[in-house]
Amino acid sequence: MSKRIYNFSAGPAMLPTEVLEKSAATLLDYEGKGFGIAECSHRGKEFDCVIDEAIKRCKSLLGIGDSHDVLFLQGGATQLFTLIPMNFLNNSADYLVSGEWSKKAAANGKAMGNVNIVASSESTNFDHAPQPSEWKLNPEADYFHVCSNETVHGHRLPTLPKHPNLVVDASSEFMARPHPVQDIALLYGGAQKNLGPAGVVLTIVRKDLYAKQKKVPTKLWSFKDQADAKSMVNTPPTFGIYILLEVFRWLDAKGGLAAMEKINEQKAKLIYEAIDNSNGFYKGTVSIKEQRSRMNITYRLPSDELTDEFVKTAAKNEMVGLKGYRTVGGIRASTYNAMPVEGCQALASFMKDFASKKS
């Protein structure tokens, strides 16, 4: 195995080494058949076994019964920003705008119909998610869209709102904690953070939604048709879905989502403590502490020069991907499921050392 370093990239991001090794072997040869998993038909029995096991494990990890379907879609979470209103925005939809991604989702919704922004924290540069007391919900809304973890701004919704048709973009925390799927109408996320490579969007749809679907141009854009075709209206990203299956197996072996959540809390705590104990050298960017993300930890240093030096010196110490999002700056350490506790320990200790040398 080649040497692997700590990659704090926000996505595409680190994947578990065991998953990569198994997937690489299967790319060359699937179960001794003399061909790899990316080289066989999506209509054949080999891939059928893969997708069936992936659906089964996904349902079991998320605790989903018969009420919801598991879909593996394409086009990134961004495509879902359009598909959701295309299918389900009949009269008006509510959107909570808490950061870059929910702002984009709302803008795409607007392009499709009436959107009500229930609250926005843009005036404070998205340093928090608006609190429920500020929300102006429309009781008639077709659905309520939230982003449960804002990847760019580093905050999350500690608890999800209750709504008859709650739609959740969980891209940057999918399967990093348990999700209350029984209270969610549609849950989706790009795979490239916690679940696999870019190119697959894991989508969980409550089946009663299909009855509310509008007419869409072709089956490709229809949730119901994708569900009927087991996500194979056209050729799906077969190898990507295979890697998701390996990640699901890995998550099962780790003890499931509640176990992952505990580890993720422990990892994030190490870095937040390094911020909070730095006598102000590092400043967290999130103004409401209980909203601090466990996945994307965002903070600033006293100057841009020090930020550059921090990123470069960290890279020399085998920690990469720490530069903040292009429009936000500062540092962002993404600590998805595959980041080991040791990676967060190494970063926390590097931060302490750097601060003591530069303060």
Can you tell me whether residue 17 is helix, strand or coil?
A: helix
Q: Is 212 considered catalytic here?
A: no
Q: Is 353 considered catalytic here?
A: no
Distance CA 81, CA 106 (A): 8
Q: Which is nearer to ligand PLP, 278 or 334 (CB)?
A: 334
Is the peptide bond prior to 12 cis by the omega test (within 30 degrees of 0)?
A: yes
In terms of phi and psi (left: phi > 0; alpha: psi -120 to 50; beta: otherwise), the region of 75 is left
Q: Which of 94, 103, 169, 267 is catalytic?
A: 169
Site for ligand PLP in 309-338 (CB under 6 A): none
Tokens standing for 189?
């996320």
CB 150 within 8 A of CB 166: no
Q: Which is nearer to ligand PLP, 76 or 180 (CB)?
A: 76
Contact with ligand PLP (CB under 6 A) among 13, 19, 61, 77: 77
Contact with ligand PLP (CB under 6 A) among 141, 169, 174, 334: 169
Quick check: 82 binds ligand PLP (CB under 6 A)? no
Q: Is 169 considered catalytic here?
A: yes
Stretch that binds ligand PLP, among 169-177, 308-316, 339-347, 350-358 (CB under 6 A): 169-177
Q: Which residues of 45-67 are buried (b: 16+ CB within 10 A; e: fewer)?
A: ebbeebbeebbebbbebbebeee
* Residue 11 CB, nearest approach to ligand PLP (Å): 5
Contact with ligand PLP (CB under 6 A) among 101, 242, 272, 299: 101
Quick check: 350 binds ligand PLP (CB under 6 A)? no
Report the 10 Å Cβ neighbour count for 133.
6
Distance CA 82, CA 78 (A): 7
Contact with ligand PLP (CB under 6 A) among 12, 18, 78, 224: 78
Distance CA 331, CA 3 (A): 25
Stretch that binds ligand PLP, among 61-69, 88-96, 166-174, 251-259 (CB under 6 A): 166-174
Distance CA 146, CA 153 (A): 15
- Of all residues in the shown chain, the one whose CB is closest to ligand PLP is 76
Report the 10 Å Cβ neighbour count for 348.
20
Contact with ligand PLP (CB under 6 A) among 12, 76, 329, 340: 76
Beta-strand pair 283-284/296-300: antiparallel
Q: Which of 103, 193, 267, 323 is catalytic?
A: 193
Quick check: 151 binds ligand PLP (CB under 6 A)? yes
Distance CA 190, CA 202 (A): 6
Quick check: 171 binds ligand PLP (CB under 6 A)? yes
Q: How far is CA 322 from the centre of its chain?
A: 18
Contact with ligand PLP (CB under 6 A) among 11, 154, 240, 330: 11
Binding interface with ligand PLP (CB under 6 A): 11, 76-78, 101, 147, 151, 169, 171-172, 190
